Amino acid sequence: MQPRDLSAHATYEAGRGIEEVARELGRDPASFVTLSSNENPHGPAPAAVEALREAAETASDYPKAAHADLTDALADRWDVSSGQIWLGNGGDGAIDYLSRAMLDPGDAVLVPKPGFAYYAMSTRFHHGTLDAYVLSKDRDFAQDPDSILGTYDGERIVYLTSPHNPSGTTMSLDAIERLADGTSDRTLVVVDEAYGEFAETDSAVALIEGRKGFDAREDVAVIRTFSKAYGLAGVRLGYAVVPDAWADAYARVNTPFAASELACRAGLAALEDAEHVEMTVESVRWAREHLATRVEAPAWPSEGNFVLFDVGDGAGVASDLQERGVIVRDCTSFGLPGCIRVTCGTESETKRAAEAINAVLDARDPTPDRGDAGGAATDREVNES
């Protein structure tokens, strides 16, 4: 017996971790820093750590009260009804619930290229088909609604990512509205805001609820996560904010107790620790600026907790950096073999990464013309790389 044909299904490639690289190179894990997976370098909120310790004693219980409490807390945070909050096992769990709620077999989904691989994975898991719109390196990964609509062909779901991974570009509410206006009545526009806390753009929840001068919409949903700014990637907790008109579909598509008791308790505590989130966001803004101005390679302005650099040979530079104890993301899996993505670390980690990247680039080519470090890569720089 064999499983169904999965040959068209891609596998998810995560950023490399310290233990993995240290074992491979036969080195002490303490000699490495990892800036490859956009994790929070400051860890989880202290209140969340304490909540996890306390919740461990109730890990034998299903998260009945905790699930409801977290849903209510998030609904209060976004000023929506509790039914509009769909908790999931990470942001990808929420993506799966939207796929279950929206897709019939054979329905098409439009995803960004480059972009988060799980959009396509979830589509295929739920027997959908894929189309892609290109965010061009030559156009600095601009998310232009007219360009996306030029590719759109009636797909059931259109995914946007704001800030976009791996470039860090964002999409304004006006642009998202124009895109949604240009799609059919049966198309859902999903705005993935996994990095939303780091951006200065408004959340697309305003479009769902008809705030900030916009009319309320029933064709937009928003994805959020506790993995980044809240530092809870290891407990797997995310959620979708959906229109009230079809909020009750959640009960028909979610798994029993979609988020664990420990995850819900940690999420509740993290929501209350505003100081930790504010510190994290300020740290990211400093690190983005430091990386963009100190690394001697073209970079794209980012509103995420990472910076994308054009280094000519992403795999080679990433490998050389590992030898120097700095782990970054080779972006070949994103279709950007000339690029690396560097997560914003602590001050010491960020400074070490900038120095190591420059040392590696100098060793590979002591006299390059790498353009102006710290600005968006120009068309000339990109096309020559």
Domain-wise residue ranges, the chain:
18-36+275-384, 46-272
Q: What does the alpha-carbon distance between residue 71 and residue 263 come to, in Å, rounded to a whole number?
A: 12
Looking at domain 18-36+275-384, does it have CATH number 3.90.1150.10?
Answer: yes
What gap in Å lies between CA 337 and CA 216, rounded to an integer?
A: 41
CA distance 226 to 194: 8
Q: What is the pLDDT of residue 379?
A: 30
Domain spanning 46-272, CATH architecture: 3-Layer(aba) Sandwich (3.40)
- Measured N-to-C along each axis, helices 314-323 and 18-25 cross at an angle, to the nearest 10 degrees, of 80
C-alpha–C-alpha distance, residues 195 and 5, integer Å: 34
Residue 198 gets which letter from DSSP? G
User: CB-based contacts of 24: which residues, under 8 Å, 6+ apart?
Assistant: none
Q: What's this model's pTM, rounded to 2 decimal places?
A: 0.91
Residue 96 has a pLDDT of: 97
Backbone angles phi, psi at 189, to 5 degrees: -95, 115
Q: pLDDT of the chain along its 385 residues, tens only?
A: 777 777 776 666 666 666 666 567 667 666 678 999 999 999 999 999 999 999 999 888 888 888 999 999 999 999 999 999 999 999 999 999 999 999 999 999 999 999 999 999 999 999 999 999 999 999 999 999 999 999 999 999 999 999 999 999 999 999 999 999 999 999 999 999 999 999 999 999 999 999 999 999 999 999 999 999 999 999 999 999 999 999 999 999 998 888 999 999 999 999 999 999 999 999 999 999 999 999 999 999 999 999 999 999 999 999 999 999 999 999 999 999 999 999 999 999 999 999 999 999 999 887 655 544 334 433 323 222 2
pLDDT confidence of residue 349: 97
CA distances from 354 to 83, 91, 131, 168, 344 (A): 45, 30, 37, 18, 11
